[in-house]
Amino acid sequence: MKIGEDKFRTDQIKPTAFYSSEDEKIKLNWFCYELSMGIYNELKEHLEKRLKKYKIDDKSIAGFSIYISKTIKEDILQKLSGKIERVCFSYEMVVSYFPTLDDRLVSKMLDAILKAWDEQLGFCEACPTRCISEKGAYCTMFDDGPY
């Protein structure tokens, strides 16, 4: 997430959703937290009205954003180790969480997720925290923010 960009920051997504003990306060989990915020922002900005027609509220959008970022964590590790070429977001990821959505909205959600992913990777290139290259290192941001 861009520093200072909090247009849709939410209290629905907490850093504590990404660790259950001190040893899980690692940079990879912080990356997943930030990715979940990016996904949330994209969905709110571009699809909120359509999602509300399906009775999908902010809490559900936040839960879905957390789910997606946690679901791809293993894929991120496989990409970093060179086992896979790219991280993929699938139709099944969306419909397993929101089974009543039509195909067009699922496709739009996947576009939003991909945009958030690309933006997150772009931010990471310039960020001094190095969440990806130092993925297993302790992340003090869980203790002192910013969030």
Q: Got the DSSP string for 65-129?
A: HHHHHHHTHHHHHHHHTTSSSS----HHHHHHH-TT--HHHHHHHHHHHHHHHHHHHHHHHH-TT
Of the candidates 106, 121, 120, 119, the one whose C-alpha atom is nearest the C-alpha of residue 47 is: 106
pLDDT of residue 10: 60
Does any domain span residue 55?
yes
Asked, for residue 60, whether it belongs to a domain, the answer is yes
User: Which pLDDT score is estimated for 5?
Assistant: 46
Which pLDDT does position 2 carry in this prediction?
42
**Domain presence at residue 106:** yes
**Structural domain boundaries, residue 41:** 22-141
13 in a domain, yes or no?
no
- Would you say residue 11 lies in a domain? no
CA-based nearest residue to 97, from 79, 110, 84: 110
* pLDDT value for 146: 55
Angle, helices 73-80 vs 58-71, to 10°: value is 30
Q: What is the pLDDT of residue 90?
A: 95
20 DSSP assignment: S
pLDDT for position 126: 87
In a domain, 101, yes or no: yes
Cβ neighbours for 83, distance < 8 A, ≥ 6 positions apart: none
Number of domains making up the chain: 1
Report the distance separating Cα 37 and Cα 12, nearest Å: 10
Residue 147 lies in a domain: no
Average pLDDT along the chain, 147 residues, taken 10 residues at a time:
47 93 96 96 96 97 97 88 89 97 98 95 87 92 75
For residue 14, is it within any domain?
Answer: no
Question: What distance in Å separates the CA atoms of residue 94 and residue 99, rounded to the nearest whole number?
Answer: 8
At residue 33, the pLDDT reads: 95
pTM exceeds 0.75: yes
